[in-house]
Structure 1
Amino acid sequence: MINNFPLKKLVLVAGLCLPVFAYAQEAPKTKPNWQNLDLKTDSVFGISTEKAYNELLKDKKHVTVLVAVIDGGVDVDHEDLKKVIWNNSKEIARNKKDDDKNGYADDIHGWNFIGSAKGDVHYDNLELTRLVRIDNARFANADSTKLSGKDLADFKAYGAMKADMDKQVNKAQKTYDIINKFNTLLDGVLAKLGNQNPSLDDIKKFEPKDNGEAYVKRVLESALPDFKDVADFRKKEVNGGLTHYKEQLDYHLNLNFNSRDTVGDNYNNANEHFYGNNDVTGPDADHGTHVAGIIGAVRDNNLGIMGVANDVAIMSVRTVPTGDERDKDVANAIRYAAANGARVINMSFGKSYSYNKKAVDEAVKFALSKDVLLVHAAGNDNNNTEVELNVPNRTYEDKSGVAGAWIEVGASGPKDDETLKASFSNYGKTSVDVFAPGVAINSTTPKSTYAEHDGTSMAAPVVTGLAALIRSYYPKLTATQVKEIIMKSVVKISHNVEIKDGETKKEVPFSDLCVTGGVVNTYNALQLAATY
């Protein structure tokens, strides 16, 4: 699943079948470009990129670094990205031939592993759903008393997965129903007001006649300060919630939905590499476009935003649908990026189950053999990934070791206080390496628009941009050296931060959250790189 911007959480009110809108993390009012600003001079915990450009990089030579964005697609025509989109000079556009003999015809800007001549995959299941579907066929008539060894272990694992899936289906259906009920109550309140987009003052003056109307009033009074108006709240929270949970029920958790026919590959053959099409944008490129902008949106065009790196080429490798990515596609995306010259690969996605981790591990080993640095988002479930599985990850399934040139990234906020860890961010003392800004990050979105998003999906490309910047100005450094520099140059956090463990909040040392105990820093990293 794309490590998406966390949805606002919805919980039940005791005694009422209504949603409470409780924010995953209150969106702070931040300075523009805060992720690249400096804590000391700008009072926000950015990574000091602008300071580095102003003090360390003036008039220094640099080379273009090819960065692969393995994601849901990138809008290659965006006004702030089109100058930095990779153009495969060895390929002749639209001639339907594989001019560079790499196995992919017309791969001008990258490749799409979840499409074909039939079209593009938009939605897919969760990996959990796909695994349950496989095991449903295997264990449909099984007698557990007659099973032993691996078969019995698999049967027990199947039971646990099925229980997990049933729990998620029930939660999705219940939440959809309560949001829908709230939506109906909201309709009634707006009808009484005679205004579909009332002001906060209008809401405050409204006199409710029953508990439902009173509840709508309380929610709107609480929520509206964080939204433009009622219409904005309804679009993002109510309609957004309905869409999210309907997608879960119709696609992610639906055993009867299978999108793979659109791709037309032999899905069980993980050694099959040459399938897909060259549509690197796809039907929903919001997430991938946002990621690409954080990495390398043009810095000197007086448009939109400024990426971390000032000399990159962005390769789009479309791999992640709305739903869980498939291991075969991820493996092929990593191989494609590495084989075609990517120096850094950004992976802002992850899931809790894996069908064929071995295929991904082998692709990671191939990328490392090509001196590629892989950057992965840690996930948005506020989980300790030393305990809760989040894949892909750097630990090889066959216990042969770990991927060295791999950076796992958690998300931090703008304030240097107990809220520094983004409330949604996964963490892990040995499983997460560094933290980077991932709250209220403004970046590029399709059709030359811009938006703020939250997530470790945003933190990872901050680190990817930093890695690309180092490789641009110090091109002789290896991938492992770049990782070492990023890790050694973090700003260490000496104070405790707040984490939520179930319903309990507690404060822990930041060093308990990641290997380095710090937030990445461009200025420090470039100073250190100069000494290698």
Structure 2
Amino acid sequence: MVFPFPYRLRLLGISLLLPVLVSAQTTPPASPLPTPTAPASPQWYLLDAQQDGGVMGISANRAYQELLQGKVSTPVLVAVIDAGIDTTHADLKRVLWHNPREIAGNGVDDDKNGYTDDVWGWNFLGGPDGRNVNQEALEETRLLARLKPLYQGKTRAAVPAAKRPEYDLYLRVRKAYEAKVKENTEQLRQFGQAYAENAQGAEGLKQTLGVTRLDTATLRNPPTQDPEVRQITRGLYQTLLQTGFASLDDVLVEMKKGLQETQDQLDYGLNLRFNPRTIVGDQPENVKQRNYGNRDVAGPDPMHGTHVAGIIGADRDNGAGILGLAPNIQIMSVRAVPDGDERDKDVANAIRYAVDNGAQIINMSFGKYYSPQRPAVEEAIRYANTKGVLLIHSAGNENNNLDNAAQYPAPTFQNGQPVPNMITVGASARTNDETLAADFSNYGKLRVDVFAPGNQIYSTLPGSQYGNLSGTSMAAPVVTGIAATLKSYFPQLTAAQLKRIILASAQPVHTQVRQPGTNKLVDFSTLSRTGGIVNLYRAVLLAQQPTP
């Protein structure tokens, strides 16, 4: 599942906005929401804590100014396995990979790689008729739909011994599925009510002030002398500043989107009868099948992948928009992640496609908690390792301790050995205080390697737009951008060396922070293997040293 923002916590944030809008409290929501319509804002994640007022960025600007200026970079190819990328974005179109061996639109597989007209990459969620899978079921739903007819109403004792592991899986999946149905049903009720009350409150304030829009300019200097109303507007103004929204109207838009997502989760993600795979026309259980899909690398909704791509490599030389982390980069779009859970078969094939077409680093901002075809994915990861390809994976947004709840693709193989060519990334926030660990982020002293900025990250959005999104999906491409920068300036570095340098150069942090999802204070260093936040400046310094 892709994470354009923390899904569950986004709804939690909506519930906490209710007292803000109705009674004008000044407490911001626990989890800032995405603001695609927000005006341009500084890319705080590029800043340096020492030089930029304690902002917990990755010292990218400092690295370019002090260590990399005047040095020669070499081309690097990064694959983004995601929901799709807007290939027409003004800040991306010059850096997107173009398959030099394929002639666009001639209906011929010119390079004989099995994928016809794969000029910009490939879409494993597409059908031969040009249609695309957008919504998908969760993996729990797909598993339950398959296992329920086999085991419903049976006791474990009645099941043959050889089938009992599968029966146990059925019980776990059923429990997880029923919990999600209950949670989403209750959320839909609660936040539907919250939206209605907030919309009513906002409309009442507009009438009181005689305005049509409650934006920051109006709330900062409202057209009234009534002290009570001015107190309300002052609180709302502060809340908008803290959460990055341009207006209360934008807040309501995001609340409505959250409601729609909850409804979609019930209608599609948790619908046992929903099966969009017929669009693709493949054999979903056949993990050996390679050649399916279509050439549409944008897909129906490229927001998530476009945002990820911009963090990694938005054009640094066009004098407009934002600065991607890596120079001299090409970005390959491989579409394999729907709105719902990705299929293991597609992930494995996406990794193989990227590797076979020359990707040196792969960004994987997606994940799920069940992996029925895990061996196929692990085989593809091992294949990538033989080709020297580094994988960067987001840790997930459920504030889970991954040492106790595995998320896939996992950082260890089924035999317990660590995956040598993968980095798992948690999300950090801007300020060095108790909020430094993003409240939504998964963590784990054993299974999360490092943290990176992932809260309110400003990057590219479809239609040549820009905006903030939050999630470990944003933290992973920060690390991918660092890896690509190191590979560009130090092309001799192997995947293993890149991983070692990135982890060894992470800035250790011992701030007392809220353990994600709780109010418990813990040492930030206990949340990951490295106990730190990635840092490009320190990584370049380490890369300049003789390679062991």
TM-score calculated relative to the size of structure 1: 0.91
> Alpha carbons of 1:207 and 1:486: their partners in 2 closer, same or farther (altered >3 Å)?
closer
Which deviations, in whole Å up to 9, do the C-alpha atoms of 1:169-194 show, x marking residues without a partner?
A: 12212211222233344455566665
Q: State the 1:202 CA deviation.
A: 8.7
* Contact 1:485–1:529 (CA under 8 A) maintained in structure 2: yes
Q: Does 1:5 pair with 2:5?
A: yes
Matches of 2:135 and 2:49, distance apart in 1: 41
**Residues of 1 paired with 2:357 and 2:14: CA distance?**
50
Aligned partner of 1:84 among 77, 95, 106: 95
* 1:218/1:381 CA distance change after superposition, 3 Å: farther
* 1:63-113 deviation digits (Å, cap 9, x = unpaired): 110000000000111000000000110111111111111111111111000
Q: What is the match of residue 365 of structure 1?
A: 382
CA 1:187–1:439: 2 relative to 1, 3 Å:
closer
Matched, 1:413 2:429: yes
Q: Is the 8 A contact 1:9 1:22 kept in 2?
A: no
Residue 326 of structure 2 is aligned to residue 309 of structure 1: yes
Aligned residue number for residue 250 of structure 2? 232
Listed as ranges, the gaps of 5+ residues in structure 1 are: 209-215
Amino acid at match of 1:130: R
Which deviations, in whole Å up to 9, do the C-alpha atoms of 1:267-313 show, x marking residues without a partner? Answer: 11100011000100000000000000000001121211001101110
- By how many angstroms is 1:221 displaced? 8.6
After superposing the two structures, state which structure 1 stretch, 118-127 or 175-184, moved more: 175-184
CA contact (8 A) 2:32 2:470 kept: no
Q: Tell whether 2:531 aligns with 1:520.
A: no
Equivalent in the alignment of 2:290: 273
Give SS of 2:12's match: strand
Aligned equivalents of 1:127, 1:86: Cα separation in 2 = 31
C-alpha contact 2:32 2:456 (8 A) present in aligned 1: no
**Deviations 1:400-433 (CA, angstroms, capped at 9, x unpaired):** 6222011111111111223221111111111111
Secondary structure at the aligned position of 2:519 is classed as strand
> Would the aligned equivalents of 1:97 and 1:106 in 2 still touch at CA under 8 Å?
yes
Q: 1:232 to 1:337 in 2, by over 3 A?
A: same
Measured in 1, the distance between the counterparts of 2:284 and 2:145 equals: 15
What is the aligned partner in structure 1 of residue 47 from structure 2?
Answer: 37
Q: Deviations over 1:318-367 (max 9, x none)?
A: 00000010000000000000111000000000011112111100000000
With over 3 angstroms needed to count, the CA separation of the structure-2 counterparts of 1:449 and 1:162, relative to structure 1, is: same
Distance 1:318 1:282 in 2: 8
CA drift of 1:497 comes to: 2.1
Question: Which residue of 23, 28, 32 corresponds with 2:29?
Answer: 23
C-alpha distance in 2, partners of 1:76/1:204?
Answer: 50
Tell whether the 8 Å contact from 1:88 to 1:107 is kept in structure 2 after alignment: yes
Residue of 285, 295, 319 corresponding to 2:302: 285
**Cα pair 2:312 2:481 within 8 Å, conserved:** yes
The equivalent residue for 1:478 is: 494
Residue in 2 that maps onto 1:487: 503
Conserved 8 A contact 1:411-1:459: yes
- Cα distance between partner residues in 2 of 1:159 and 1:259: 25
Structure 1 residues 221 and 493, CA, compared in 2 at 3 Å: closer, same or farther? closer
- Shift, 1:47, TM fit: 0.9
- The aligned residue for residue 213 of structure 1 is none
CA contact (8 A) 2:391 2:423 kept: yes
Partner of 2:440 in structure 1?
424
Look up the equivalent residue of 2:465 and give its one-letter code. Answer: T
Counterpart selection for 2:148 from 125, 129, 136 = 136
**SS of match in other structure, 2:148:** helix
Q: Distance in 2 between matches of 1:68 and 1:100?
A: 19
Task: Confirm or deny that 1:164 pairs with 2:176.
Answer: yes
Identity between Structure 1 and Structure 2 (%): 45
Moved more, 197-206 or 445-454: 197-206
Classify 1:84/1:500 alpha carbon distance in 2 versus 1 (closer, same or farther; 3 Å): closer
CA–CA distance in 2 between the matches of 1:331 and 1:369?
15
Does structure 2 retain, via aligned residues, the 8 Å contact 1:496–1:509?
yes
Q: Decide whether aligned partners of structure 1 residues 223 and 176 sit closer, same or farther in structure 2, where only a CA change above 3 A counts.
A: farther
Which residue in the other structure is 1:126 paired with? Answer: 138
Match of 1:508 in 2: 522
CA distance in 1, matches of 2:108, 2:82: 25
| Corresponding residue SS for 2:304 | helix
> Counterpart of 1:345 in 2: which secondary structure?
strand
TM-score normalized by structure 2? 0.88
Contact 1:126 1:252 in 2 (8 A): yes
Work out the CA distance in 1 between the residues paired with 2:318 and 2:162.
60
Give the counterpart letter for 2:495 in structure 1: A
Query: Which has more strand, going by share of residues?
Result: 1
Report the Cα offset of residue 23 of structure 1: 2.6
Structure 1 residues 251 and 218: CA distance shift in structure 2, 3 A: farther
1:462 corresponds in structure 2 to 478
Q: Which runs of 5+ in 2 are unaligned?
A: none
| Alignment coverage as a number of residue pairs | 520
1:452-511 Cα shifts (integer Å, max 9, x gaps): 11111111101101101111111111110111111111111133322145xx42222222
Matched-pair contact (CA < 8 Å) for 1:204–1:221: no
Cα RMSD (Å) of the superposition?
3.0
Q: Equivalents in 2 of 1:433, 1:186: separation in Å?
A: 40
Contact 2:13/2:32 (8 A) holds in 1? no
Paired residues of 1:4 and 1:380 also in contact (CA < 8 A): no
Residues 47-72 of structure 1: per-residue CA shift (max 9 Å, x gap): 11111111111221221100000000
Q: Which residues in structure 2 correspond to 1:386-465 (within 5 Å)?
A: 386-397=403-414, 399=415, 401-465=417-481
Match of 1:63 in 2: 74
Q: 1:130 to 1:204 in 2, by over 3 A?
A: farther
2 CA distance for matches of 1:519 and 1:69? 22
Q: Deviations over 1:186-205 (max 9, x none)?
A: 45556666576456559997
The amino acid that maps onto 2:480 is T
Contact 1:379-1:456 at 8 Å conserved across structures: yes
